[in-house]
């Protein structure tokens, strides 16, 4: 009886927990973003940009935002490391894809990496938040300009948002995260992942 009531209490009052993958090619600013997210949404002060090195393994960050628990997985974006990304797809509720919006010469590389991610069946129905990063630099493309440039048809059949941000000064990040939490709450994928987890508990 106690465990039944405890289970009901937990179901009603515990905060939803979401796994968010942070992807993008190398030097896009993923780890700088992760550290800024810690500063904005957790008790921990994130590392300053000058202490961040290129990612080889996995960086994890935990945060609470808009009454949800968020677990961020930040992976390395160097060419040889991108094959690791798909190992995390199945468990992810959503993807934040970070683009260095000030580096037009790498837009084709970022586009083809993003297309591969979008076409992967293990990410079916996942909401995508695309951050046009480095807006503190004058040459940066805005979110709308980047969306036009990338012109990704694969985004049309899933929730998505292009958002201008600077991982340096934090501008735009809150707007993106508030959209993402709402999108994950409403997402068919969240429902699918919840059913899968319930099935494992029952078995």
Residues 70-129 that bind ligand GTP (CB under 6 A): 76-78
Residues 55, 31 contacting (CB under 8 angstroms): yes
Q: Does 137 bind ligand GTP (CB under 6 A)?
A: yes
Count of residues interacting with ligand GTP (CB under 6 A): 22
Separation of alpha carbons 170 and 203, rounded Å: 44
- Taking the complex as a whole, the smallest distance from the CB of residue 74 to Mg ion amounts, in Å, to 6
Residues 118, 126 contacting (CB under 8 angstroms): no
93 binds, among ligand GTP, Mg ion, none (CB under 5 to 8 A by kind): none
Q: Does 27 bind ligand GTP (CB under 6 A)?
A: yes
Residues lying near Mg ion in the complex (CB under 5 A) are found at 30-31, 55
Q: For Cα atoms 124, 126, 129, give the angle at the middle one, nearest 5 degrees.
A: 140
Is 133 annotated as contributing to ligand binding? Answer: yes
Calculate the CA dihedral of residues 72, 74, 154, 184 and round it to 10 degrees: 0
Q: For Cα atoms 18, 20, 22, give the angle at the middle one, nearest 5 degrees.
A: 170
* Interface with ligand GTP (CB under 6 A): 24, 26-32, 49, 52, 54-55, 76-78, 133-134, 136-137, 166-168
Annotated binding site for GTP: 24-31, 77, 133-136
């Amino acid at each position: 009886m106690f465990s039944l009531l405890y289970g009901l209490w937990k179901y009603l009052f515990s905060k939803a927990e979401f796994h968010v993958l942070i992807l993008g090619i190398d030097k896009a600013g993923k780890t700088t973003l992760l550290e800024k997210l810690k500063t904005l949404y957790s008790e921990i002060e994130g590392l300053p940009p000058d202490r961040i090195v290129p990612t080889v393994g996995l960086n994890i960050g935990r945060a609470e935002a808009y009454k949800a628990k968020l677990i961020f997985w930040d992976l390395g974006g160097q060419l040889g490391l991108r094959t690791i990304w798909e190992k995390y797809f199945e468990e992810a509720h959503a993807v934040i894809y970070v683009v260095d919006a000030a580096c037009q010469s790498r837009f084709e590389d970022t586009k083809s990496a993003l297309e591969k991610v979008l076409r992967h069946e293990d990410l079916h129905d996942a909401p995508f938040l695309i951050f046009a990063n480095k807006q503190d630099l004058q040459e940066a493309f805005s979110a709308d300009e980047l969306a036009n440039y990338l012109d990704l048809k694969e985004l049309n059949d899933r929730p998505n948002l292009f958002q201008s941000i600077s991982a340096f000064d934090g501008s735009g990040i809150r707007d993106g995260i508030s959209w993402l939490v709402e999108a994950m709450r409403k997402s068919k994928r969240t429902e699918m992942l919840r059913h899968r987890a319930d099935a494992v508990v029952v078995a």
